[in-house]
Amino acid sequence: MEVARYRNLNGFLRKRFGHRVHKVGVCGGFGCPNRDGSIDTAGCVFCNPRSSLPKSYDSSDSVTEQLRKGTEYVSERFKAHRYIAYLQDQTTTHGRVDELEKICEEALEYPGVVGLALCTRPDCLPSEILSLFGRLGQKTMLWVEVGVQSASDGILRSMNRGHTAAEAEEALKTLGELPVLTSAHVILGYPGESEDDVWATAELLNKTRTDGVKIHNLHVVEGTPLARHYREGLFEMISLEHYAALVAEFLERLEPDVIVERLTGEAPPEMTLAPDWSLHKQLALGRIRSVLEERDTWQGRLLGYSIEELRAILRSDLTPGGSLVR
């Protein structure tokens, strides 16, 4: 039997709710300050907002209708009947707070929805948004996902993120004081990123007591500045072998109670330019698990945690920040 070597999201949610819980994507028509000129107009070099829209998305659908379509699909495919409504388009906190609150309340009314998750940037958390998170976090499990990407300011600049690592750290610390769960999106193996940069990203998450992490490989999506750079031969993509090793070494340096929500990232096949292996999620996941197995290593090992200590955490539903989880 395969030994669990990291703390995955499904296991945590099953412990917490006693059932399988699945995320269902919802779009609220949010914008992005890195595109509308508030910060920049070019956006992050890797981002094409169309690539993260749910397959069934129709802009005329209400939140309820989106949830109806999404839950029908996941209950049939994954036999899941509890859901987290996931507001994933662009920067959900860049807009009117009352509109965001209305969308969240509508999602929470939907049968089977047991929590909310939403994506934002470190520099898009004004006090009215924090107050809203405080209110929502008192009534449901709210995950606030922050685009951190890297602890290296040089890498953040080449991604055209428009924020610094210090801002990401501050945002995670601020959110950690609210009754919400925090999650950091990171990209491992960006061109020019050193191993020390990757270790520093793990350290940033440990220091801020972030609850979860979504680890992504870089993938080149059509319609982005990165696609142009790739076609011009300005950089090479990381191989699956190298990425799997990097993920294993990142996990070894991550606190064992951090919930690992993702180990790879992918975009729709018709929009993906490279790498080919990102289109084969199970292959990539299998390789990462094999590397952990071959090296006989696990999440938190280099911080001094034994595999038994990791297993004890896997049996619990505790979160790193000690956040009040509803």
- State the residues that interact with ligand SF4 by CB under 6 A: 32, 34-35, 43-44, 47, 49, 90-91, 121, 147
Q: How many CB atoms lie within 10 A of CB 203?
A: 13
CA distances from 179 to 120, 132, 189, 322, 324 (A): 17, 11, 32, 9, 5
Residue 156 or 291 having the CB closest to ligand SF4: 156
CB of 48 to ligand SF4, least distance (A): 8
Q: How far is the CB of 159 from ligand SF4 (least distance, A)?
A: 8
Q: 310: closest CA among 325, 296, 291, 323?
A: 296
- Whole-angstrom Cα distance, residue 204 to residue 154? 16
In the bound complex, what is the minimum distance in angstroms from residue 26's beta carbon to ligand SF4? 16
For residue 39, give the amino acid letter: I
Indicate the residue among 50 and 68 with the shorter CB distance to ligand SF4: 50
Q: Which of 48/299 has CB closer to ligand SF4? A: 48
The Cα–Cα gap between 276 and 14 comes to 32
Cis link prior to 275 (omega < 30° from 0)?
A: yes
Smallest gap from Cβ 134 to ligand SF4, in A, equals: 24
Judge contact between 143 and 118, C-beta under 8 A.
yes
Of 34 and 297, which CB lies nearer to ligand SF4 in the complex structure? Answer: 34
Of the pair 146, 284, the CB lying nearest ligand SF4 is at: 146
Q: How far is the CB of 150 from ligand SF4 (least distance, A)?
A: 13
